[in-house]
Amino acid sequence: MERDALAFWIRSPGEGEIRAETLPEPGPDDVLVRTVCSGVSRGTEALVFRGGVPESQHELMRAPFQDGGFPAPVKYGYLNVGVVEHGPAALLGRPVFCLYPHQTRYVVRAASVTPVPADVPPERAVLAGTVETAVNALWDAAPLVGDRVAVVGAGMVGCAVAGVLRGLPGASVQLVDTDPSRAAIAKALGVGFAAPQDAEGGCDLVVHASATEEGLTRSLELLAPEGEVIELSWYGDRSVAVRLGEFFHSRRLAVRSSQVGAIPARRGRRSFADRLALALRLLADPAFDALITGESAFTELPEVMPRLADGTLPALCHRIAYT
């Protein structure tokens, strides 16, 4: 059994490298997985790559199978699809999703992987962690049939939210972003698109995912009286100003956070495994392919990650291919 592997590490803020790893011997409850593809979640991983995780959040921001610590050296990532090469008979040879960093092979407990449904291509399944975030956000938001909803910020998470919302009967969904090229993503997802200044107001619900002060301000402006903003943005070590004057109190508006680390709205009735399995089932919809905007080889990650982090390589989810 091959026990050598290669992994992508952040050596120091803004610098990455490929390192050799020696895998442990799998135990009776473990699986050995050969990675087929992984995904770079540009928002969070770019922040980690730049060294922008505040010290107060070092423990909370840890990925499930992270090695090292913030700011560096650290092995970080959580969108990994591979094939089980060793493990229980029910999983052997099956494609699985795991919240594992960018690494060619790895050993984890069998309970830590989720089988990819037969109608979901492994190349699309790398989106499972992001669609899981969208599912959790909408469990928190609890939109109603026929609601008018805006998603402000057409990044990877915002587009995933819009993609899940498109299935809500009678709902009017608009994706709002300053980048006009995101209109093509909205069209592929089957939802409306608007620049911030052109977005329709009177929304029952706004999901904010732009990670900007301007986006949060516009989200509040788009709400109908007694509407609510669900805040998905992760600001890292940046301070954010929110205007709570003007119409905030008179309209009785609300801003509420949603974070994928907990399932408060379904606690006791849904598990993390339930949520991830649901995300994978939703990915049977080929419209989600629009969220994968590029691909590079694993060996190119040290050169690709800086470009993703500084925006010179625009991306939603950038897929990493392994051979």
- Residue-range domains of the chain with CATH: 4-127+283-321 (3.90.180.10), 130-265 (3.40.50.720)
Average of per-residue pLDDT across 92-115 = 98
**Mean pLDDT across 33-58:** 91
Residue 247: predicted pLDDT: 84
pLDDT tier, 51 (very low <50, low <70, confident <90, very high otherwise): very high
How far apart (Å, rounded) are the C-alpha atoms in residues 49 and 11? 9
- Token code pair at residue 214: 């301007």
Is the entire prediction scored with pTM above 0.85? yes
Percentage of the residues of the chain whose pLDDT score is greater than 70: 98
Residue 267 has pLDDT above 70, yes or no: no
The answer on pLDDT for 237 being more than 90 is: no
Contact 188, 181 (CB under 8 A): no
Strand 67-68 relative to strand 74-75, pairing: antiparallel
CA distance 323 to 315: 22
Whole-number pLDDT of residue 265: 60
57 pLDDT above the threshold of 90: no
Q: Indicate whether 2 pLDDT > 80.
A: no
CB 32 within 8 A of CB 322: no
